[in-house]
Amino acid sequence: MTSRNRYHHKIGLIAAGALVLLLSILVTSPASAGKPAQETEKYCLQCHSDPNLKMTLPSGETLSLFISQDVLNHSIHSPLGIECEACHTDITTYPHPAISYQSKRELSRVYYKSCEKCHSANYEKTLDSMHASAATGGNLEAPVCTDCHGSHNVQKPDEPRTLISETCSKCHGQIVDTYKQSVHGMALISEDNKDVPVCTDCHGVHNIQDPRTIQFRVQSPELCAGCHANQDLMAKYGLSADVYSIYKRSWHGVDVSVYKARWPTIWHDSAVCTDCHGIHDIRKTTDPESKVNPKNLLQTCKQCHPTAGPNWADAWTGHNEISLERTPILYYVEVFYSSFTPFVLWVCVIYVILQIVRSIVDRVRRSMP
């Protein structure tokens, strides 16, 4: 066959196919519809492009079976040629196999497994997540792939970046509302700031763990340090990048480190960053609603130091290095100790050396005849 002939042959086939399609739509009942070798999408959409196609599930819910060509075209999978049969592997023709679910929710929880075929790494991660354990515990509202990504209209999940918190807000609306008022959330929403954390920076995505465990708590200062100890990043906002290193040397920081290293399974209330600053409601320190604003600071300390008097917070140096201007008394105390301690040590060393010399001299004298 010449290529020209082959071409004509193809046209002929397509024309014949189209005719069969048309006939099957116009003449035959769905039960006898046939499927051409390829073009699954066209085949399935013969029936599923009907906006009125629906079925009643055993639960009594009505399920619309309408699949919009327009929505499909915008899905990230469409240009890659991923069509119906890539996900609906067990439906190839009509009549379809018997369904294995009772309700809409169960439908999602059965069909989402089709994502595993091509995204197995993410699939594995989700099995290990807090969301999966909530489902195992009987909470079927816990999300699967399609709750966050959709099924026929999958989009880039992080463009724009605000889409991430919107995705979580379907079920964690209150936390997202709080976050939107925080210094991080406001920067994200108002200026599309890429430097501030979104939900998934702190919680991860597919393997979200329970953030209320001891492990999460004692690791949380490092989470903040990821950005707040970064000199270049903090300089952009005129913020100190020493908050973490100074925290680590503070009573609270040392206390937390000691517990983390020695007693990792014992809950200890020494303050981590979020105890003073809040979690989803972190604000600028100058904001009157900030938990560390001078107006509210004592109250914040009192969560854990209930007997703290009115001057308690003043006696604390915060994230500042001790300095002559801010804390003159502490400054002189420190100067005193930092010169006095080495002085005492040197005196001791000289004393010990003299003792040794003395004992050697004594011994030599005694051994002389």
Binding-site member from 103, 162, 240, 257 for ligand HEC (CB under 6 A) = 240
Of 83, 84, 49, nearest to 67 by C-alpha is: 49
For the segment 325-364, give every residue that binds ligand HEC (CB under 6 A): none
Length of the chain: 369
Taking the C-alpha atoms of residue 182 and residue 210, their distance in angstroms, rounded to an integer, is 22
Tell me the HSE value of 240 on the side-chain side, using a 13 A CA sphere: 12
Span near ligand HEC by CB under 6 A; candidates 2-10, 148-156, 323-331, 342-350: 148-156
Of 104, 88, 9, nearest to 41 by C-alpha is: 88
How near is the Cβ of 50 to ligand HEC at its closest, in Å? 9
Question: What does the CA dihedral 285, 291, 295, 298 come to, rounded to 10 degrees?
Answer: -120
Binding-site member from 17, 214, 318, 331 for ligand HEC (CB under 6 A) = 318
- Whichever of 202 and 218 has its CB closer to ligand HEC, that residue is 202
- Whichever of 113 and 339 has its CB closer to ligand HEC, that residue is 113
Taking the C-alpha atoms of residue 245 and residue 243, their distance in angstroms, rounded to an integer, is 6
Q: Contact 105/140 with Cβ under 8 angstroms?
A: yes
Span near ligand HEC by CB under 6 A; candidates 3-11, 164-172, 330-338, 344-352: 164-172
Binding mask 169-198 for ligand HEC (x = CB under 6 A): -xxx--xx--x---xx--x-------xxx-
- Whichever of 218 and 282 has its CB closer to ligand HEC, that residue is 282
For the segment 248-307, give every residue that binds ligand HEC (CB under 6 A): 251-252, 255, 269-271, 273-277, 279-280, 282, 284-285, 292, 297, 300-301, 303-305
Quick one: tokens of 352?
A: 């010990």
CB-count exposure of residue 153 (10 Å: 0-12, 13-18, 19+): middle
**Site size with ligand HEC, rule: CB under 6 A:** 133
Of 180, 266, 168, nearest to 217 by C-alpha is: 266
Binding-site member from 132, 188, 199, 218 for ligand HEC (CB under 6 A) = 199
How near is the Cβ of 162 to ligand HEC at its closest, in Å? 10
For the segment 89-118, give every residue that binds ligand HEC (CB under 6 A): 91-92, 94-96, 99, 107-108, 111-112, 114-115, 117-118
How near is the Cβ of 228 to ligand HEC at its closest, in Å? 4
Q: Which residues are within 8 A (CB) of 63 and not within 5 positions of it... i.e. 6 or more apart?
A: 54, 55, 56, 57, 104, 107
Q: Contact 218/262 with Cβ under 8 angstroms?
A: no
Q: Is the dihedral of CA 83, 89, 91, 92 positive or negative?
A: positive
How near is the Cβ of 251 to ligand HEC at its closest, in Å? 4
Binding-site member from 131, 188, 218, 259 for ligand HEC (CB under 6 A) = 131
How near is the Cβ of 299 to ligand HEC at its closest, in Å? 9
How near is the Cβ of 328 to ligand HEC at its closest, in Å? 17
Q: Contact 319/240 with Cβ under 8 angstroms?
A: yes
How near is the Cβ of 329 to ligand HEC at its closest, in Å? 15
Q: Contact 216/223 with Cβ under 8 angstroms?
A: no
CA distances from 27 to 12, 20, 35, 41, 119 (A): 22, 10, 15, 20, 41
Position 151 contacts ligand HEC (CB under 6 A): yes
For the segment 31-70, give every residue that binds ligand HEC (CB under 6 A): 33, 40-41, 43-48, 55, 63, 65, 67
Span near ligand HEC by CB under 6 A; candidates 5-13, 71-79, 323-331, 339-347: 71-79
Of 86, 10, 13, 100, nearest to 44 by C-alpha is: 86
How near is the Cβ of 259 to ligand HEC at its closest, in Å? 10
For the segment 216-235, give every residue that binds ligand HEC (CB under 6 A): 217, 220-221, 223-228
